[in-house]
Amino acid sequence: MLRIILTATAAAMLLLAGCDSDNKTSSTPKETPAASDYETGRFALQKMLAPAHFWAPDAQPIRLESANIKDSTGRDGKANFWRALFGSVSRQKSEPFSWSGITTSDAHKGVDHGTEDSYNPSNRSYHTFDLNFLKVDTDKAFEVAQQHGGKQLLEKDPKMQVAYLLDWDSQSNQLRWHVIYGGSESMSKLTVLVDASSGNFIRRE
């Protein structure tokens, strides 16, 4: 009789232990994905500058563009992913760099770089520029673009994304922000060009 009681007690204790283990497992909080960081274009470019100079001491940017990943919209001049192309005149090479404020299957937070390629300094379409010309950031460029048709577009379509492109115009010797409403520049509803040195409106496209 005593043996039966002891056996039943042991079985009950094992059952309770299993239930307690299940409860602990089910109550363990799931790991939440890290929040995105959103930054302006000049901030992202500055983050990429040191690694670019490590690659080539005379490296200068050729172009900078934003990408909206997941919940990023590009509003207020900020995005969670930026990519830049740097060129080295002495080496006649170019190298892409990127800054990510989000971790995905293709990118991790922070600065990364791609594959080195050839670079022809005489190609006017890929002219490097001095960062001293970059006095106006994307938040200001967005404000200017809003005053020249962007505000009306976003009121009609609040989900529309805004992207940014920075390049040097060799014909006018101007550093320009392209504020792009909806899709790529070739497919956009509106692109507003803003002088990245003065903040002045250039034109609509």
Residue pointed to by tokens 């991790």: 108
Please provide the average confidence, as pLDDT, over all residues in the chain.
86
The β-bridge partners of 33 are none
Which residues are within 8 A (CB) of 48 and not within 5 positions of it... i.e. 6 or more apart?
A: 82, 84, 86, 97, 98, 99, 111
Mean pLDDT within 169-180 = 95
Band the pLDDT of 106: cuts 50, 70, 90: confident
At 54-94, the pLDDT tens digits run 999 999 999 999 999 988 999 999 999 999 999 999 999 99
Most confidently predicted of 20-24, 48-52, 179-183: 48-52
Q: What is the pLDDT of residues 30-57, one digit of tens each?
A: 445 567 899 999 999 999 999 999 999 9
What's the pTM? 0.82
Print burial letters for 5-41: b (CB count within 10 Å at least 16), e (below 16). Answer: eeeeeeeeeeeeeeeeeeeeeeeeeeeeeeebebbbb
The alpha helices in 28-79, defined as continuous H runs, are 41-55
In whole angstroms, what separates CA 130 from the centre of its chain? 22
Q: Which amino acid is at 143?
A: E
The span from the CA of 109 to the CA of 153, in Å, is: 31
